[in-house]
Amino acid sequence: MRGREYFAKFRMVIKGGSKIVSFAPRWLRLLLFNAFRYKNGYSGLLMRYILFDGLVKSCGDNVAIHQGCYFDNLQNIIVGNNVAFNQMCFVQGSGSLTIGNDVRFAHGVTIETESHGYSDLHICIADQPMIYNPVFIEDDVWVGAKATILSGICIGRGAVIGANAVVTKNVEQMTVVVGVPAKEIKCRKVIK
């Protein structure tokens, strides 16, 4: 059985667990979420989902967060249905992040929603203000292993981001991009 079938079968129990846990103080839920970061198996997936559901702005059904993923500023993250974060993803939400339905992140993906300012030559870069820009990832997107998505990016529906790509510009829907910086190599065709 696939994850979505398991989730559908036990949805009431899982969502009930999320509701109960949501009554705990936020600091405790964050502490527990981080404590379960490396718990393997279905119990780890379940605990991370239950805690994640109450920490983000909005969370859909069947969101799989595998071992070793790190999330920052969860309160600014919206995640749709059937989304998978494979091992060791780094997800930064301070500039706001919206992820659609049926999105897959391979292991080691980085999503940044902030960057350092560096325009004032009279101030050390470390002392310049942070720049926050939202990231939007539409439905049915696959992000390959160790790809990096920089702040202010929109990835269109059905796009594929190749492994190790660094996305510095918006990605049109149904396109495949690879490289550093990521460039379009082909368009996915719709077969009727």
Question: Residue 30: helix, strand or coil by DSSP?
Answer: helix
Query: How far is residue 95 from each of residues 26, 60, 77, measured CA to CA in Å?
Result: 20, 20, 9
Quote the CA–CA distance of 96 and 44 in Å, as a whole number: 26
- Band (pLDDT 50/70/90 cuts) for residue 1 is low
pLDDT in tens, 10-37: 888 888 889 999 899 999 999 999 999 9
What amino acid is encoded at 152 in this protein? G
Where along the chain do its domains lie? Answer: 3-187
pLDDT in tens, 115-166: 988 988 899 988 999 999 999 999 999 999 999 999 999 999 999 999 999 9
Q: Which fold has domain 3-187?
A: UDP N-Acetylglucosamine Acyltransferase; domain 1 (2.160.10)
Quote the CA–CA distance of 29 and 34 in Å, as a whole number: 9
For 64-87, the DSSP string reads EE-TT-EEE-GGGEEE-SSEEE-T
Instruction: Show Cβ contacts of residue 2 under 8 Å, excluding neighbours closer than 6 positions.
Output: none
pLDDT for the residue numbered 191: 61
- Band (pLDDT 50/70/90 cuts) for residue 44 is very high
In 30-171, DSSP assigns E strands to 58-59, 63-65, 70-72, 77-79, 83-85, 90-92, 97-99, 104-105, 110-111, 114-116, 130-132, 135-137, 142-143, 148-149, 154-155, 160-161, 166-167
pTM beyond cutoff 0.85: yes
Question: Residue 130: helix, strand or coil by DSSP?
Answer: strand
- Band (pLDDT 50/70/90 cuts) for residue 42 is confident
- Mean pLDDT for the chain overall: 93
- If phi > 0 it is left, if psi is from -120 to 50 it is alpha, else beta; for residue 42 that is alpha
Residues with active-site annotation:
116
Question: Residue 44: helix, strand or coil by DSSP?
Answer: helix
pLDDT for the residue numbered 87: 96
Question: Residue 78: helix, strand or coil by DSSP?
Answer: strand
pLDDT in tens, 63-99: 999 999 999 999 999 999 999 999 999 999 999 999 9
The two three-digit tokens of residue 86, written as one number: 């494979």
Cβ proximity of 145 and 109 under 8 Å: yes
